[in-house]
């Protein structure tokens, strides 16, 4: 029997359970009991491993700043390229760090390169 079993790393998970018996085949009552068990186990597993909340939105500007950061540019260079102030770059990075759950430039660049464009939804 196979049934939904919560989420792992934000991806729906399935569990398969094999039940065998020696001798005769399962009766109709056995099959009905297994169906009830499947439903109850599925609900229990969903409560134990609920889906993760969607990641916070990375704005288009934060995306642009993170892309340049990942290329190794300094805040001053990023500011010049995007025609904004270095302080604005600092603020965009501050917000992006929180959304990516990182605390440094290196972590942010690594997170953006490895999971950024594919795992983070773009906002405004």
Handedness of CA 68, 72, 77, 79 (dihedral sign): positive
pLDDT digits (tens, 9 = 90+) for 61-90: 999 999 999 999 999 999 999 999 999 999
Distance from C-alpha of 60 to C-alpha of 66, rounded to nearest angstrom: 10
Distance from C-alpha of 92 to C-alpha of 124, rounded to nearest angstrom: 13
pLDDT digits (tens, 9 = 90+) for 83-118: 999 999 999 999 999 988 899 999 999 888 887 555
Angle subtended by helix axes 60-70 and 75-82, to nearest 10: 130
In 3D, which of 65, 70, 72, 73 has the Cα closest to residue 113?
70
pLDDT digits (tens, 9 = 90+) for 4-28: 777 777 677 777 777 777 878 888 8
């Amino acid at each position: 029997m196979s049934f939904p079993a919560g989420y792992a790393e934000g991806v729906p998970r399935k569990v398969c359970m094999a039940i065998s018996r020696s001798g005769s085949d399962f009766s109709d009552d056995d099959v009905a009991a297994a169906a009830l068990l499947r439903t109850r186990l599925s609900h229990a597993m969903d409560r134990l491993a609920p889906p993760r909340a969607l990641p916070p939105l990375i704005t288009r500007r934060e995306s642009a700043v993170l892309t340049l950061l990942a290329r190794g540019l300094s805040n001053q260079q990023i500011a010049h390229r995007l025609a904004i102030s270095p302080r604005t770059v600092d603020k965009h990075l501050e917000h992006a760090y929180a959304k990516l759950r990182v605390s440094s430039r290196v972590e942010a660049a690594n997170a953006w390169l490895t999971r950024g464009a594919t795992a983070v939804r773009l906002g405004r």
